[in-house]
Amino acid sequence: MDLDDCLSSEWILPNGLGGYSSSTPCGINTRTYHGLLVSATLPPQGRRVVLSKLEEWIYDGEQEFPMSSNTYPDIIYPQGHVYLDTFEWGSNYVKWIYRFPNCSIVKVLIPHVRENAVTVKYRVEGKCEVKILPLVTDRSHHLTRRSGFATFVTKSEGQEIVVREGDRELLRVWSDKAYAMQRTGFWYYNFNYIKDRELGNNYVDDLYNPVAIKFTSRQFELGFGTVRSSPPDLEYTPDTVLGKMRRAALDFLVKGSRGPAIIAGYHWFGEWGRDTMIAMEGILLMNGLFTEAREILQRYIDFSFRGFLPNQFREYDGEPIYRGVDVTLWAINSVYSYYNYTHDKEFVIKNLDKLIEAIEWYLKGNGVVRTHNGLLFHRGAPLTWMDAQYNGRTVTPREGAAVEVNALLYNSLRVIGKLSEEIGREPIFLDEAEKLREAFNNNFVGEHGLYDYIDEEMRPNTSLRPNQIFAASLPFKVVEEDTSRKIVEVIERELLRPFGLSTLSRSDPQYKPIYAGNRVSRDEAYHNGPIWPWLLGAYVDAKIDIEKDPVNIKSLIAYFEPLTSYARANRGFVPELFNDVAPYRQGGCIAQAWSVAEVLRGLSRLLSV
C-alpha cells in the first residue's frame, strides 16, 4: 500500500458501548485515539486504550518479514505496509491481505458487540509461521503516556494469558489453537502520532509488550478483552450509499450505564444532548428504533432543571452538565418527530406537563434566558452550537437573541400546542407564539435574509451565517413563505457547498476556511468558514418546502455527489466538517452522528420527491 494513502485514511469500528477499534489501513497509529481495543469503562464514557496494536512478523523458513508499520522520529519501522496488497472496511470488520515471497496472510479484525473485546483471525496460505507481539497500555484515549507509568504483570491462567496492572486485571488474551509463548516484558519507545503532532497535541507514546506468541497453524484466531467472549459473524456490507449510511448510523447508538445513548462523534466526543436530539431521526427513527428513542427522550426529560436539559455528561462519572440554551428546544422537536413516527400518545400524556413547565421557564426566565421586546435572549457564552472556546476566549459568543434559538422556541410553542390537541386538551401557548412571531419578523428580517443574532441593545449582527436556515426548515416556521424563499436564496448564493453549508460568508473579514494547525488556529476557524455537513438536512427541508419544481429538487442529488462519494468510500460515515477550499479536506471527528443522520435524512427526502 502507498504510504501517503495509508497515512491520509482512517477506519473505525465501534463496539456498541462507546469503545471501538480504529487505526489506518496499514496499521500505523496516527492519533492517540487509535487502538485495536479502546474500552469504555463507564459506558459510553471513560474510554481507555488497552490494546494499542499488534507487532506481527512472518517467517518463511529463511527470512523474516514484517506485517506491521510504525512511525518513530524520522523513520517508518518496520515497513510492513509494502507487503499489504488489499484492505477492506466492512460493516463490522476490517480485512487485510498481505503477500510475501512464499506465502500470503489474510487477517480479519472483528470487535465484539457490546463487549470490550476484539478478535483477530488469521489464515496462512503457504508455509509461514506468524509471530505476534501485543502492544498494550492503560491510558485515556485523549492522552499519551511514557514508560514506567505502571508495573505490568503477565501470567497464564489455563489457556489464557492475563496481563495485570498491579493488582488490577487489564487484559485477557485467548486463542482457538495451540501456540508457543515467550514472556518478553519489553517497552517500545517513542511512537509518534503524526496527526496529533500536526494538531499540537501530545503525540509521543510508549507501549508495553508482555509476550510474544508464535503460531504454526494455517488458520487461527486471537481474542483480546477485559473478559472472554465470542465474536459476531461477519455482516453483509450494503452496496448503496444510503444503505451504508443507515448501517453507519447504528454505530452511534450505544448501551450506556443509564440506558441507550447516542455518541456525538468518534473518536473523542461522548454523549451530547444537542447532538442527540438533532441526530435522533436519522440515527433511530429512520431505522425503526422507537423503543431506544423513547428511552433516550425520557431520560433527558427526567434530567430537566429550570427548563434546561443537559448538553453534556461528565467523562469521569456521567453526571449531567447544563450548557446549551437550545437543547430543550431541540428535544421538543425530537418529541414531535417521535410522535409523528409512532403516534405514541401514552408518551405525550406522561411528559407534556414536564415540557410545558420547561417552556414556562424559558418564558419567565431562569437566570440564563429571558424574554425581552418579544424575543428570547440568553446571556453567557458559548451556549449555542457555535461553541468554540479556548484560553478563556469565546470565538463566536452570539450572546443575545440568537436567530435559530428563537426559531426553535416558536417551533416548540407550536409543537406543544399541537401535541395538546392530539391528546384531547385545549391548545396552549398560542398567544405567546404569535407575539414571538411578530417580534421575530420585525427584528430579524434584513437585507441578507435574517440577522444572525440581536444583542441586548437590540442591535443586529449582520454576519451571514447558516443559522437562519432553521427559521425556514423547522416543522412550524416563524417566517412567511416569501421570507423562507429569500433565506434559501441567500444560503444558496453565499453558503451552499457540495459537502454541506459553510459557516460564514466568504466576504466576511472573519472568514477562515481551513480547519488545521494547533488548537488556537482550529478553534478560530471552527465556525468561521468550514463546511458542516449536518446543516444539509435543514437546507433540504427548506428547499423542498419552497421549491415547486421537482426537477430542481432532484438536481441536488447530483450536486451533493462529492459528499455521497465520500460517505460511500468511508463505510457510510460522514465527518464533522470539511475545509471550505479545494480539495475540501475532512476535519474534526472522522464520524459524526448528526452529520450521518442529517445527510441521510436529507438525501432520503430528495430521493422521495
Domains of the chain: 3-225 (2.70.98), 241-608 (1.50.10.10)
pLDDT at 315: 78
Q: What number is the average pLDDT over the span 381-401?
A: 96
Is this prediction's pTM over 0.85? yes
pLDDT at 158: 87
pLDDT(548) > 90 = no
In this predicted model, what pLDDT tens digit does every residue of 492-531 receive, in sequence order?
Answer: 999 999 999 999 999 999 999 999 999 999 999 999 999 9
Inter-residue contact 119 to 135 (CB < 8 Å): no
| pLDDT band (50, 70, 90) for residue 572 | very high
pLDDT(244) > 90 = yes
Helix (H) or strand (E) holding 87: strand 84-89
**C-alpha cell of 525?**
476557524
- Listed as own residue / partner, the contacts of 73-80 with beta carbons closer than 8 Å and 24 or more positions apart are 73/190, 73/192, 76/3, 76/28, 80/26, 80/27, 80/56
| pLDDT band (50, 70, 90) for residue 317 | confident
Portion of the chain with pLDDT greater than 90, in percent: 96
In this predicted model, what pLDDT tens digit does every residue of 59-116 receive, in sequence order?
Answer: 999 999 999 999 999 999 999 999 999 999 999 999 999 999 999 999 999 999 999 9
Nearest alpha-carbon partner for 471 in 499, 497, 496, 443: 443
Amino acid (one-letter) located at 321: I
Q: Compute CA distances 83 → 25, 249, 294, 301, whole Å.
A: 12, 33, 49, 54
Inter-residue contact 432 to 362 (CB < 8 Å): no
pLDDT at 220: 98
Inter-residue contact 500 to 535 (CB < 8 Å): yes
pLDDT at 314: 86
In this predicted model, what pLDDT tens digit does every residue of 339-360 receive, in sequence order?
Answer: 999 999 999 999 999 999 999 9
In this predicted model, what pLDDT tens digit does every residue of 146-198 receive, in sequence order?
Answer: 998 989 999 999 889 999 998 899 999 999 999 999 999 999 999 999 999 99
In this predicted model, what pLDDT tens digit does every residue of 406-447 receive, in sequence order?
Answer: 999 999 999 999 999 999 999 999 999 999 999 999 999 998
**C-alpha cell of 145?**
503516556
Nearest alpha-carbon partner for 275 in 385, 382, 414, 129: 385
| pLDDT band (50, 70, 90) for residue 540 | very high
Portion of the chain with pLDDT greater than 70, in percent: 100
Residues 6+ apart with CB under 8 A from 271: 44, 45, 256, 261, 262, 263, 264, 312, 313
